[in-house]
Amino acid sequence: MNEDSKNLVTDGSKNPTVGRGTSNRDWWPDQLNLKILHQNSHMSNPMGEEFNYAEEFKRLDLEALKKDLYALMTDSQDWWPADYGHYGGLFIRMAWHSAGTYRIGDGRGGAGTGTQRFAPLNSWPDNVNLDKARRLLWPIKQKYGKKISWADLMILAGNCALESMGFKTFGFGGGREDVWEPEDDIYWGTESEWLGDERYSGDRELENPLAAVQMGLIYVNPEGPNGEPDPVASGRDIRETFARMAMNDEETVALTAGGHTFGKSHGAGDAALVGPEPEAA
């Protein structure tokens, strides 16, 4: 037996690598994927089978946590400086993009399980640099541990960002339980490249249950349909997409126009200078 055959994980294109090669799904593409029945199984829960988040959340000093989040908003870090000395816009974007994957077509997506931490969401073009927001939250997550889930912490950070900037919120409701691995049973589209848009048919009829206009976006392309600055066509896309996210026109204007008063994270620089997404880093 030669050295290459002893070690399946080897460098070089001509050497075999674990996980590569033709799979059963390649031979039988219509075969049911039963592995998704075992995802996020209680047997693999890193918190343990007896973990009860509702009970842990009751023990949380919510006011102390909020004070720590308020302090974080203006605690600018050299490795990722706060815009104009305040991280509010970044955390509002993180919270919205956590919730913004929800669609009414199948009730999937949303902020309920903290999946922004995992692929593919952590590496979507629309979520660029939100890994920095979660890194900023990491010391606070470590401090409060099991008493606050990532799912709750990301939304609470958005709430506190708004409050820190003078906005009065309706309050906060906790109870979002984290998953601990990617949710492979959610259909995000058939495209094989970021910003692909093979989800339309007929007179720009968007495939159900999808809501976003392109692969890797939360909602619409800010540059217009397919990157074309057409205000009328953009309005149609916006109305369709946000309706599929359970929002009417008034709510859509409040979110898109009001939300962007806190800042924006698109169109700021040359895409050629952007490094690899988190999952590829």
Range in 28-32, 50-54, 161-165, 178-182 the model is least confident about: 28-32
CA-to-CA distance for 169 and 25, rounded, in angstroms? 48
Sign of the torsion formed by the C-alpha atoms of 227, 229, 232 and 234: positive
pLDDT confidence bin for 9, thresholds 50/70/90: very low
Domain hosting 77: range is 53-165
**Positions marked active-site:** 97
pLDDT digits (tens, 9 = 90+) for 142-166: 999 999 999 999 999 999 999 999 9
Least confident residue range of 30-34, 192-196, 209-213, 252-256? 30-34
Q: Which residues lie below 8 Å from residue 251, measured CB to CB, with a gap of 6+?
A: 242
Instruction: Kindly state whether residue 269 falls inside one of the protein's structural domains.
Output: no
Global pTM value: 0.87
Retrieve residue 169's tokens. Answer: 């919120």
State whether 211 and 147 are in the same domain: no
Q: How many domains does the chain have?
A: 2
Indicate which CATH number applies to the domain containing 69. Answer: 1.10.520.10
CA distances from 278 to 132, 179, 242 (A): 10, 19, 27
Strand partners, 201: 205
Same domain, 92 and 128: yes
